[in-house]
């Protein structure tokens, strides 16, 4: 019986779940039958009325739930249950209390009086003087409130005189009020709210914002739940001096292995004096036979589009475009086996520095088939194979078909059970078929075969340092040397292929690892990387001068679980200067403060400009409710900040206010003016966000 009581009570409580907070968070599945335990000071049965009565500290337990009350009466004939006096139902992590509860175990209809529901997930607090279940999916709540605040006087809450709810339909609230700090600030005599557990078609909250360049901004979106696997969002935005902008986002998920998204943007730009648009398409497909295909398509109307609407193209595509002035679109496909892999790509590049893209080199397709190192038949030799085909295309210039084949064979061996040695020989055959060239240009088929040889030798030295009874470190040193040789092959007739010069290069260095081992109280071992260091240098026997290369090194440190750093450096021993230095440091303390620093220096060796930039990100927890944010990018080459963000996050127990000022500096050539953006976001825990982001 108690099992049926649980199902009836939970079914009756579902109106709280589906009306006042996202239903997916608290959807519960029926469990298998489990033993029921009933405790009471007195348990009687009336044969005339076929009624069971439990009185005095009644406790009914079933796996995952417990019902307590002063008195519980069950009419076995009608299946009506009445619980009175300090009624408390604990179901997993949720708690329902009330003074009086009536329900029927067959119809599951009933009433709760003076009820309060508290949930652990989401921290929802819901009350009602009376709540009736009128049908399988129909409920009515009188004088109900909702909040996510724990305080006796919550910072905010919603209250309604009466609410009629139809699950998978709508909730109709009468006399709805929103209280902030106990003061009613919003009132609606009649409010309709969708209560579908599935996505619901309708208007979304408007978004407000502003920019120092273009003035106030406001947008409104309409969400269309087309079907279970498709939806669309239509957005109309007023962007100050730019004017009215139109947007469409269409998403689909045919299966868990097939999904994608299409974004369209269009604006008759008053500031630009012309029509502007963007098309962004993403698709991922995993076929049953293991083949995969991915699409990442990005097209914009003009080279300045990303300057004004950088948020339209998400992720790495926009970042790469702003950094390299190249916007890339690609379709990739392939399949991976145990020892083989096949990958392909169709690529198209938009050069954002040029008005005419006809002379930009495109690559489609690019095909690559690789065999990883594996035994050659039943011999002691190993082999690898790498092959590439590519077609390079320019609309108004030459076009090339490119084929590269590179098989290798090696013979791993061990010397004195200490040294691992692996000689390897390979032969690289490269072929080019040019087409669409001028009458005075070379257009003959070209090929080039280049053999190569290498030998690699290394050994491993290890030692264990025990620092305590429960902690030890294992230190590993791996010295390594590699010699690579390419003979001098005649390549005088080559026009399309770059020369491969004679090579006689010796590379030597070592790698060092430090791993921490801890023994837990139950005797289990836990391992953690503590340090990884690698340093190497080359000696070029063919060089006329500067035989020794720069010294390259990388150091990774994890001194504690809350501190990590990575250093990559290239040091020119002849000039005594670093030509490349990359350093990242991340620190996190127990309070929740976070600091990360990234320094990147890359000295220009050719016509490419030098890079010298510092990125800093700080999250400072001033109090339990107030956090400060500071993010900045500083360019040492121009001695100025590229962009900075200053923010304040105020987060009491049940709501949050984010305030940010984003400063974007003027471009170095002055073509892009500086801009200041103000972002404000107000969040009610459990309901969502309002504002801009």
Distances (CA, A) of 464 to 277, 513, 517, 555, 563: 63, 12, 10, 21, 24
Residue 99 in contact with residue 114, Cβ under 8 Å? yes
Residue 427 lies in a domain: no
CA-CA distance, 247 to 260, in Å (whole number)?
Answer: 17
Pairing mode, strands 413-415 and 419-435: antiparallel
Write down the pLDDT at residue 24: 33
Residue 322 lies in a domain: yes
Q: What is the DSSP letter of 196?
A: -
Residue listed under structure tokens 């930009």: 360
Q: Are residues 180 and 242 in the same domain?
A: no
Q: Are residues 243 and 172 in the same domain?
A: no
DSSP, residue by residue, 64-124:
TEEEEEEEEEEETTTTEEEEEEEEEEEETTEEEEEEEEEEETTT--EEEEEEEEEESTT--
Q: Are residues 64 and 157 in the same domain?
A: yes
Write down the pLDDT at residue 33: 52
Residue 119 lies in a domain: yes
Show the low-confidence residues of the chain (pLDDT under 50): 1-32, 688-693
Q: Are residues 155 and 233 in the same domain?
A: no
Q: Are residues 154 and 276 in the same domain?
A: no
CA angle 60–62–68, rounded 5-degree value: 25
Backbone phi, psi, residue 316, to 5°: -70, -30
Helices and strands: H and E segment counts in the chain: 3, 42
Domain boundary among 163, 198, 233: 198
Contacts of residue 464, Cβ cutoff 8 Å, sequence gap at least 6: 472, 473, 474, 475
Longest dimension (CA), the chain: 114
CA-CA distance, 242 to 249, in Å (whole number)?
Answer: 21
Q: Are residues 156 and 215 in the same domain?
A: no
3-state helix, strand, coil in the chain (%, to 5): 5, 65, 30
Count of the separate structural domains present in the chain: 3
Domain boundary among 198, 220, 244: 198
Residue 20 lies in a domain: yes
Residue 121 lies in a domain: yes
Q: Are residues 186 and 216 in the same domain?
A: no
Residue 688 lies in a domain: yes
Residue 366 in contact with residue 394, Cβ under 8 Å? no
For residue 243, what are the domain limits?
199-328
Q: Are residues 250 and 299 in the same domain?
A: yes
Backbone phi, psi, residue 203, to 5°: -80, 145
**Peptide bond just before 365 cis, omega within 30 deg:** yes
Tens of pLDDT, residue by residue over 84-126, are 999 988 877 778 889 998 878 777 788 989 988 787 766 778 7
Residue 338 lies in a domain: no
Tokens of 142: 């009188």
CATH code where residue 53 lies? 2.60.450.10
Write down the pLDDT at residue 168: 62
CA-CA distance, 363 to 330, in Å (whole number)?
Answer: 10
CA-CA distance, 145 to 163, in Å (whole number)?
Answer: 11
Q: Are residues 178 and 33 in the same domain?
A: yes
Q: Are residues 67 and 213 in the same domain?
A: no
Backbone phi, psi, residue 273, to 5°: 65, 55
Q: How much is the pTM? A: 0.69
Domain boundary among 198, 228, 257: 198
- The backbone region for 605, taken as left when phi is positive above 0, alpha when psi lies in -120 to 50, beta otherwise, is alpha
Q: Are residues 239 and 313 in the same domain?
A: yes
Pairing mode, strands 362-375 and 340-351: antiparallel
Backbone phi, psi, residue 24, to 5°: -60, -25
Residue 450 lies in a domain: no
Tokens of 564: 């990590």
Q: Are residues 185 and 266 in the same domain?
A: no
CA-CA distance, 214 to 675, in Å (whole number)?
Answer: 9
């Amino acid at each position: 019986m108690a099992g049926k009581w649980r199902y009836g009570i939970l079914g009756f409580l579902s109106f709280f779940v589906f009306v006042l907070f996202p239903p997916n968070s608290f959807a519960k599945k029926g469990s298998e039958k489990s033993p029921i335990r009933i405790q009471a000071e007195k348990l009687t049965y009336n044969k005339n009325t076929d009624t069971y009565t439990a009185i005095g500290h009644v406790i009914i337990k079933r796996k995952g739930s417990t019902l307590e009350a002063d008195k519980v009466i069950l009419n076995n004939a009608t299946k009506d249950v009445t619980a009175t006096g300090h009624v408390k139902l604990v179901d997993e992590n949720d708690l329902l209390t009330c003074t009086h509860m009536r329900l029927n175990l067959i119809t599951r209809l009933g009433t709760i009086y003076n009820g309060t529901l508290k949930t652990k997930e989401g921290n929802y607090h819901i009350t009602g003087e009376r709540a009736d279940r009128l049908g399988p999916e129909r409920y009515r709540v009188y004088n109900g409130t909702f909040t996510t605040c724990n305080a006796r006087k919550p910072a905010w809450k919603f209250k309604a005189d009466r609410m009629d709810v139809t699950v998978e339909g709508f909730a109709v609230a009468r006399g709805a009020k929103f209280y902030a700090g106990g003061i009613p600030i919003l009132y609606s005599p009649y409010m309709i709210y969708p209560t579908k557990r599935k996505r619901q078609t309708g208007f979304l909250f408007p978004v407000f914002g502003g920019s120092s360049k273009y003035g106030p901004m406001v947008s409104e979106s309409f969400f269309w739940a087309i079907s279970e696997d498709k939806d669309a969002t239509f957005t109309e935005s007023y962007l100050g001096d730019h004017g009215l902008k139109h947007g469409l986002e269409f998403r689909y998920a045919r299966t868990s292995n097939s999904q994608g998204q299409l974004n369209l943007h269009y604006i008759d730009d008053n500031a630009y004096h012309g029509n502007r648009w963007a098309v962004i398409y993403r698709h991922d497909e995993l076929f049953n036979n293991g083949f995969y295909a991915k699409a990442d398509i990005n097209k914009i109307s003009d080279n300045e589009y990303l300057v004004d609407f950088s948020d339209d193209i998400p992720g790495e595509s926009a970042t790469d475009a702003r950094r390299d002035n190249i916007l890339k679109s690609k379709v990739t496909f392939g399949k991976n086996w145990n020892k083989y892999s096949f990958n392909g790509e169709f690529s198209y590049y938009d050069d954002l520095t040029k008005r005419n893209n006809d002379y930009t080199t495109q690559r489609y397709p690019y095909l690559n088939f690789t065999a990883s190192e594996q035994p050659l038949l039943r011999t002691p030799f190993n082999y690898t194979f790498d092959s590439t085909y590519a077609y390079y295309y320019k609309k108004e210039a030459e076009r090339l078909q490119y084929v590269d084949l590179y098989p290798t064979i090696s013979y791993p061996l061990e010397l004195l059970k200490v040294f691992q040695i692996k000689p390897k020989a390979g032969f690289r055959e490269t072929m080019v078929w040019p087409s669409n060239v001028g009458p005075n240009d070379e257009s003959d088929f070209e090929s080039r075969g280049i053999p190569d040889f290498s030998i690699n030798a290394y050994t491993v030295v290890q030692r264990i340092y025990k620092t305590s009874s429960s902690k030890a470190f294992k230190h590993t040193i791996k010295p390594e040397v590699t010699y690579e040789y390419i003979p001098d092959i005649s390549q005088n007739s080559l026009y399309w292929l770059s020369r491969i010069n004679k090579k006689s290069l010796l590379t030597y260095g070592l790698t060092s690892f430090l791993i921490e081992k801890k023994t837990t109280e139950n005797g289990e071992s836990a391992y953690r990387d503590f340090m990884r260091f690698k340093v190497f240098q080359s000696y070029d026997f063919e060089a006329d001068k500067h035989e020794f290369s720069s010294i390259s090194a990388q150091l990774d440190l994890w001194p504690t679980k809350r501190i990590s750093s990575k250093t990559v450096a290239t040091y020119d021993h002849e000039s005594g200067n670093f030509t490349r230095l990359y350093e990242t440091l991340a620190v996190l303390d127990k309070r929740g403060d976070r600091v990360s620093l990234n320094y990147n220096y890359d000295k220009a060796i050719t016509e490419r400009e030098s890079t010298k930039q510092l990125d800093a990100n700080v999250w400072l927890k001033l109090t339990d409710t107030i956090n400060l944010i500071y993010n900045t990018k500083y360019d040492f080459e121009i001695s100025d900040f590229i962009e900075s963000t200053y923010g304040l996050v105020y987060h009491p127990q049940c709501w949050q206010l984010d305030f940010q000022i984003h400063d974007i500096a003027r471009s170095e050539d002055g073509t892009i003016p500086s801009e200041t953006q103000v972002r404000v976001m107000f969040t009610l825990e459990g309901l969502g966000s309002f504002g801009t982001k």
